Chains A and B, each alone.
Chain A
Amino acid sequence: AQTVTQSQPEMSVQEAETVTLSCTYDTSESNYYLFWYKQPPSRQMILVIRQEAYKQQNATENRFSVNFQKAAKSFSLKISDSQLGDTAMYFCAFMKHGNAGGTSYGKLTFGQGTILTVHP
């Protein structure tokens, strides 16, 4: 079974600064996807960024980028130029690759979440 660990229950950052959220995972799979989702106070789950394990290049989406270290099973999220609207709970999540098939395909395993507060 896969596990996802986010060791930082809470983080805070000043507006316009950079912050990094940590995530580690444990799996015996070689092919998988990793995601960061954001849950603002509105409760809506919003996809922030996605990484395929077979790609060495780190994913980036505007101000959001990841540092994916496959050997270390680490997948951190860097938010640059933080904005007040980035205040939310952030979840790291793991999914087996489609080729794994079976009844667990599509199952997202989430970490415990990190509450990020951006201060003006």
Chain B
Amino acid sequence: DTAVSQTPKYLVTQMGNDKSIKCEQNLGHDTMYWYKQDSKKFLKIMFSYNNKELIINETVPNRFSPKSPDKAHLNLHINSLELGDSAVYFCASSQYYTPRITKNIQYFGAGTRLSVL
């Protein structure tokens, strides 16, 4: 069973379109994340949610809107897609969000390659 699953794996679309990427984890984790990996393979966090509450919101255009219907799901919706949005988007999850945690390991999905034409 896949622990963190993202759909779709590949997404090709035209500029100006709106698209969503879905993420689900079956690990029982409380916290989920979205990362973006650009064409140079640089990985950067975009958002994190803990129990459906937004925790981290990096400097990301407001065309990107994460939505967490429950703690097992964190979807990423992107409006008015631009060429520069082409990248691989990774979802991740971890077990706890507490200052006393000593074991916080993030498990990643397989990534979604978004190509904007």
Chain A residues in the interface with B (C-beta under 8 A): 33, 35, 37, 39, 42-47, 50, 52, 89, 91, 95, 98-101, 103-110, 112-113
Assuming the A-B contacts A33-B104, A47-B105, A106-B94, are A91 and B99 also in contact, with contact meaning beta carbons closer than 8 angstroms in the complex? no
Q: Are A108 and B106 in contact (CB under 8 A)?
A: yes
Q: Which of A37, A89, A99 contacts B100 (CB 8 A)?
A: A99
B interface majority secondary structure = strand
Chain A residues contacting B106 (CB-CB under 8 Å) are 47, 106, 108
Q: A67 to B50: give the CA distance in the assembly, Å.
A: 33
Interface size on B, residues (CB 8 A): 32
Check B42 against A112 for contact (C-beta < 8 Å).
yes
Contact B110 A98 (CB under 8 A): no
Q: CA separation between A109 and B40, bound complex, in Å? A: 16
Contact B104 A106 (CB under 8 A): yes
Question: What residue in chain A is nearest B90 (Cβ atoms)?
Answer: A45
Q: A44-B108, A45-B108, A99-B100 are in contact. Are A106 and B48 (CB under 8 A)?
A: yes
Q: How far is the CB of B47 from chain A (nearest CB, A)?
A: 10
Residues from chain B with a CB closer than 8 A to the CB of A101 are: 99
- On whether the beta carbons of A106 and B55 are closer than 8 Å, the reply is yes
Cα A99 to Cα B96 with chains together (Å): 13
